[in-house]
A and B are shown apart, each in its own frame.
Chain A
Amino acid sequence: MPRLVGRRLLAALPVLFIVSLLTFGVTLLVPGDPAVTLAGENATPEQVDQTRERLGLNDPIYVQYGRWLGGALQGDLGESLYDQRPVVDSILERVPVTFGLAVLAVLFAAALAIPSGVISATRRGSIWDRAITLVSSAGVAIPNYFLGMLLILLFAFGLGWLPAVGYVPFTESPGDWFLHLLLPALCLGVAGWAEITRQIRSAMIQELEQDYARTATAKGLRRRAVIFKHAAKNASVPAITVTGLQVAYLFGGTVIIERMFGIPGLGQFAISAVYVRDIPVIQGVVIVATVVVIVTNLIVDTLYPLLNPKVRPA
Chain B
Amino acid sequence: MTTKNAATGTATGPEPRSGGPERRLHAGAIRRMVRRFRRQRAPMVALGFLALLVLSVVAAPLISPYDPLEQHLAAVLQGPSAEYWFGTDELGRDLFSRVLDGGRVSLLGAVQALVVGLAIGLPLGLLAGYFSGVTDMIVMRFTDALMSFPPLVMMLAIVAALGPNLTNAMLALGVVFAPRFIRLVRGVVLALREEPYIEAARSIGVAAPSIIVRHIIPNALPPLIVQVSLATGFAILAEASLSFLGLGVQPPQASWGSMLSQGFSSLGQSPTMIVFPGVAIALTVLACNVVGDGLRESIGREVRSE
* A residues less than 8 Å from B69 (CB atoms): none
Apart from the given pairs A137-B286, A141-B283, 20 other A-B contacts in the complex at a CB distance below 8 Å? A14-B141, A19-B148, A23-B157, A26-B161, A27-B161, A29-B161, A31-B162, A141-B237, A143-B237, A152-B267, A248-B150, A251-B152, A256-B245, A270-B153, A271-B156, A275-B246, A278-B160, A286-B149, A289-B149, A290-B150
Contact of B145 among A22, A141, A255, A256 (CB under 8 A): A22
| A29 CA / B154 CA spacing, docked (Å) | 13
* B residues less than 8 Å from A30 (CB atoms): 161-162
Query: Residue-by-residue, is B15-58 near A (CB-CB < 8 Å gives 1, otherwise 0)?
Result: 00000000000000000000000000000000000000000000
13 A-B pairs whose Cβ atoms sit less than 8 Å apart in the complex: A22-B145, A23-B157, A30-B161, A30-B162, A137-B289, A141-B286, A149-B274, A252-B150, A282-B156, A285-B153, A289-B149, A289-B150, A293-B149
B282 touches A141 (CB 8 A): yes
Answer whether residue A119 sits at the interface, using C-beta atoms and an 8 A cutoff: no
B162 and chain A: residue at smallest CB distance: A29
Answer whether residue A240 sits at the interface, using C-beta atoms and an 8 A cutoff: no
Size bracket, chain B contacts: 35 or more
| Interface SS of B by simple majority | helix
Answer whether residue B220 sits at the interface, using C-beta atoms and an 8 A cutoff: no
* B residues less than 8 Å from A18 (CB atoms): 141-142, 144-145
B138 and chain A: residue at smallest CB distance: A18
B150 touches A249 (CB 8 A): yes
Number of interface residues of A (CB under 8 A): 56
| A46 CA / B285 CA spacing, docked (Å) | 50
* B residues less than 8 Å from A282 (CB atoms): 156-157, 160-161
Within 8 A of A (CB), among B249-287: 257, 260, 263-264, 267-268, 271, 274, 278, 281-283, 285-286
B146 touches A22 (CB 8 A): yes
| A157 CA / B268 CA spacing, docked (Å) | 8
A149 touches B260 (CB 8 A): yes
A289 touches B1 (CB 8 A): no
* B residues less than 8 Å from A271 (CB atoms): 156, 245
B247 touches A211 (CB 8 A): no
B148 touches A146 (CB 8 A): no
Answer whether residue A184 sits at the interface, using C-beta atoms and an 8 A cutoff: no
Shortest distance between the CB of B264 and any CB in chain A (Å): 6
Shortest distance between the CB of A158 and any CB in chain B (Å): 9
| A21 CA / B144 CA spacing, docked (Å) | 13
